[in-house]
Amino acid sequence: MRLLHTSDWHLGRSFHRENLLDAQAAFIDHLIATIRAERVDVVCVSGDLYDRALPPVDAVRLFGDALARIQGTGARAVLISGNHDSLVRMDYATGLIDVSGIHLRSSVEQTAVATPVVIDHERSGPVAFYGIPYLEPELVRQPWGLAERGHTAAISRAMDLVRADLATRTDTRSVVLSHAFVTGGEPSDSERDISVGGSANVAASLYDGVDYVALGHLHGRKRITETVRYSGSPLAYSFSEHHHVKGSWLIDLDSSGVASADFVEAPVPRPLSRLSGRLDDLLSDPALARHEDHWVQVTLTDAVRPRGPMEQLRERFPHTLVLEFAPEGDLPARELDWVRRTSGRPAPELVLDFVEWARTAPANDAERALIDRAFEEIRVAEGRN
């Protein structure tokens, strides 16, 4: 059986106010062409189908068109919701569309997680596909009776359910779709933080016992193990991804498990570049000509901020989207401290910093718990909508 593993489409997302819908549509064209050319049997889409719980109409239309075109190739599809998707909305009418060969799994009911989509293949036999949507820990902790909090407890229980069901089946290969942050993956700036209430990371060993794990959430492709992989997003959604190679994994399953894994590169709508230097140098350096048609992030190092730098930069680099200023030499101590204290940190920690700044005393344990709880309730409410 041949699988195509993709994830993190984020339909409806923009890139620094640049509309990406045409680029996302081009990826869907590429996806359909790959399914046909490679004779793909099952397409696995591991979450973050949309960029937000209430996606724009054009994104919904593109998603519907993508599913219809996948179905039209004769391939089956198994999809799960991610942390950007609405669990409730994505779960609507899934039983009805199952009959078309499109299987969307967005329920956090334990029976749903433990019930696979079983697809037979004439040579490799049946394959059970288990869909584990993004599990917000506080959303499942009480209904699932989890003794501990956090992502590890939630994924552990889900995989216990999967292995218990798989033990009842004979001569059946297994594939798990999961939207999570697995240790060994490399985050970028465009993923939403999921570390509220504890560490976001879960160990790859939690997924032991199945033949292939199709991961979603992180936007860079990554082989965690031979059988546990991230496909990454099909497009770059932040300048931190300028070095990524985007695409999908083409996985062959035989009667013993994963037989081969190849990466199919996706089309690049416009390359990304990060440039740094003094304005005059950036405007005159002939070696930078290859960046002129790229989306560009510029960091100016002039000692004195130039006048109208964006207008000048766009004369040479018309697709300059981000402009930052970092004068040569050390940043002022207060500015350097602010950058150090805020860079890449979760929102609850920034709130705690504000509390300490506002009253010149750190939050106590009860206040810390209250802040964590507030963010957890926001996340749970988003998952229910």
Say if residue 320's pLDDT is above 60: yes
Residue 362 C-alpha from the chain's centroid: 34
The reported pLDDT for the residue numbered 265 is 98
H helices of the chain, in order, are 21-38, 57-73, 87-90, 94-97, 110-113, 137-140, 151-166, 279-284, 309-316, 333-342, 347-359, 365-384
At 136, the pLDDT band (50, 70, 90 cuts) reads: very high
Tens of pLDDT, residues 2-48: 999 999 999 999 999 999 999 999 999 999 999 999 999 999 999 99
Q: Which of 123-127, 164-168, 182-186 reaches the highest mean pLDDT?
A: 164-168
At 358, the pLDDT band (50, 70, 90 cuts) reads: confident
The reported pLDDT for the residue numbered 199 is 60
Cα–Cα dist 52/50, whole Å: 6
Say if residue 384's pLDDT is above 70: no
The model's pTM: 0.84
Per-residue pLDDT, averaged over 309-331, amounts to: 90
Q: Which of 61-70, 183-192, 355-364 reaches the highest mean pLDDT?
A: 61-70
In one-letter notation, the amino acid at residue 210 is V
- Which comes out higher in pLDDT, residue 378 or 178? 178
Residue 379 region by backbone torsions, left for phi larger than 0, else alpha for psi between -120 and 50, else beta:
alpha
Cα–Cα dist 105/85, whole Å: 12
Tens of pLDDT, residues 257-313: 999 999 999 999 999 999 999 999 999 999 999 999 999 999 999 999 999 999 999
Q: Which of 164-173, 179-188, 360-369 reaches the highest mean pLDDT?
A: 164-173
Cα–Cα dist 144/159, whole Å: 13
The reported pLDDT for the residue numbered 108 is 95
Per-residue pLDDT, averaged over 116-142, amounts to: 93
Q: What one-character DSSP code corresponds to residue 91? A: T
Query: Would you report the helix, strand and coil content of the chain in percent, each value rounded to 5?
Result: 35, 25, 40
Say if residue 140's pLDDT is above 50: yes
Q: 6 has which bridge partners?
A: 45
Say if residue 190's pLDDT is above 60: yes
Task: Copy the structure tokens of residue 200.
Answer: 């976001």
The reported pLDDT for the residue numbered 186 is 75
Say if residue 77's pLDDT is above 80: yes
Per-residue pLDDT, averaged over 239-262, amounts to: 95
When mean pLDDT is compared across 58-72, 151-165, 242-256, 358-372, the lowest value belongs to 358-372
The reported pLDDT for the residue numbered 381 is 66
Say if residue 331's pLDDT is above 70: no
Q: φ and ψ at 173, to 5 degrees?
A: -75, 165
Pairing outcome for strands 102-105 and 42-46 = unpaired
Residues 48/158/262/118 CA torsion (nearest 10 deg):
-100
Summary mean pLDDT of the chain: 91
The reported pLDDT for the residue numbered 335 is 53
The reported pLDDT for the residue numbered 121 is 87
Per-residue pLDDT, averaged over 82-108, amounts to: 95
Tens of pLDDT, residues 202-224: 999 999 999 999 999 999 999 99
Task: Copy the structure tokens of residue 261.
Answer: 């894994």
Per-residue pLDDT, averaged over 356-379, amounts to: 80
The reported pLDDT for the residue numbered 197 is 46
The reported pLDDT for the residue numbered 132 is 98
Task: Copy the structure tokens of residue 375.
Answer: 């963010």
